[in-house]
Amino acid sequence: MGPSLGGVLARLQAFVPAGLRAYAEGIEPRYAGVIGSLREQTRLRRVGEALARAIEEGRPVRLLAARPGEPRRRWWRVDPYFLGFEGGSCYLLGRDAERGAIEVWPLQAVETVRAGRGAFQLPLGLDLEGALAERLRRAGGAGWSVRLRFKKGASLAGVAAFLAEAFGAAQRTGGRGDGELTVRTSDLLGLRRWLVGFGPEAEVLAPRELRMAVAQDLEAALGRYKKSGRRPEG
């Protein structure tokens, strides 16, 4: 599978570099719980280990995941071929059983891994690292242009700098003081998860699909709080 699992997971565990985390915390202390949380690191490690076992044993899997550029997850039947590290992120290269095509999934976009039935064999002569790099180039392309608005008081220059490091080219847009930023990224799911941590202090202006997805996440979180608030104490 190319790089050893230990090497991949070690880099995965440092998914948010210490310097970048400290930088983000310096922008706003409340962001620290959103960026590089221990819970997220634990989930990524669990997903990576499950996929590594399936690759080693030649077993298909079912993934609840999203591909690059997709803000929503769905179930996939996959023959997992390779775990690789590109551009600061870990990816799975595998065959989508539904389409019979080789695809790529970011590990941070994989929520659940379930063992499948049967076995698979790697295609003869397939350059795994080359195939991963090529599909990432195709998936990334120009990316999606995402327009965001932050409430007054946010450090827009700092937020833009972090977005550029974590997701893609970012810049301030609109008039002075209106709180708007634009970021171009192929990692819509990762950006979606990051934005939810802001609650009402950040708003997605475009694209509409991402705006609706973030709104649904916030509504679901509010519903959980309301439900727990109705439970009797003790």
CA 12/CA 75 separation, integer angstroms: 23
Q: pTM of the entire structure? A: 0.56
Q: 180-193 b/e with 16+ CB inside 10 Å = b? A: bbbbbbbbbbbbbb
**Tens of pLDDT along the chain (234 residues)?**
445 555 554 554 444 445 445 544 444 444 444 444 556 677 788 999 999 999 999 999 999 998 766 777 899 999 999 999 876 678 899 999 999 999 998 887 898 999 999 999 999 999 999 999 888 877 665 567 899 999 877 778 888 888 887 777 888 887 666 789 999 887 787 788 888 888 788 899 988 888 988 888 888 888 877 776 666 555
CA 154/CA 179 separation, integer angstroms: 8
CA 185 vs. chain centroid, Å, equals 11
Q: Which domains does the chain have, with CATH numbers?
A: 5-139 (2.30.30.520), 144-229 (3.30.70)
Q: Is-contact 66 72, C-beta < 8 A?
A: yes
